[in-house]
Amino acid sequence: MLEPRHPMSQTFHDVLDEMSELHDRKQSDYGRKDDPFANIRASEDFGIEGWVGAIIRANDKMCRLQKAAGGSTLTNETVEDSLLDLAVYAAIGLVLYLETTGPNDPKIKTSPSTGDTETRDQNDRKRSGPPRYPYQTPTPPAT
């Protein structure tokens, strides 16, 4: 049996749950049934990869948070809302990045027999085991 979480860790997990719910709510306004990231992926229409589009949107939230940290009052959304949005954009960026690199990332080697992967990070440290985020080929949009 797992030990009870520390209250701060429980708050962290509550925030993750809130991020998930926020994504699902906003996806109904911005996404499509066949692509929950359609609004972010739209950056591709301008030659910008979807995951980079997520970074650009995250940067907008950072600019808002920098104003708040500098003492300005936010009038259209709270610091908490901006932080949640920033975290959601980071998660969406990761999903779209993995979609872009998928199994073809040259830093990832997959064992044909076990499906385990071996990766090397930017410091050339080896990490192996099952993939952290199994890559799924996206379903093409309906035409």
Digit-coded pLDDT (tens) for 87-101: 999 999 999 998 888
For residues 88 and 96, give the distance between their C-alpha atoms in angstroms, rounded to a whole number. 12
Please answer whether residues 96 and 37 qualify as being in contact, where contact means their C-beta atoms are separated by less than 8 angstroms. yes
**Nearest by Cα to 41 from 28, 26, 56:** 56
Q: Where are the domains of the chain?
A: 9-105
The pLDDT assigned to 134 comes to 54
Kind plus residue range of the DSSP H or E element containing 26: helix 7-30
Compute CA distances 47 → 57, 72, 105, whole Å: 16, 34, 21
Structure tokens at 58: 């995250």
pLDDT tens-digit profile of 52-109? 999 999 999 999 999 999 999 999 999 999 999 999 999 999 999 988 887 555 555 5
This model's pTM is above 0.75: no
Compute CA distances 12 → 21, 101, 102, 117, 139, whole Å: 14, 29, 28, 29, 32
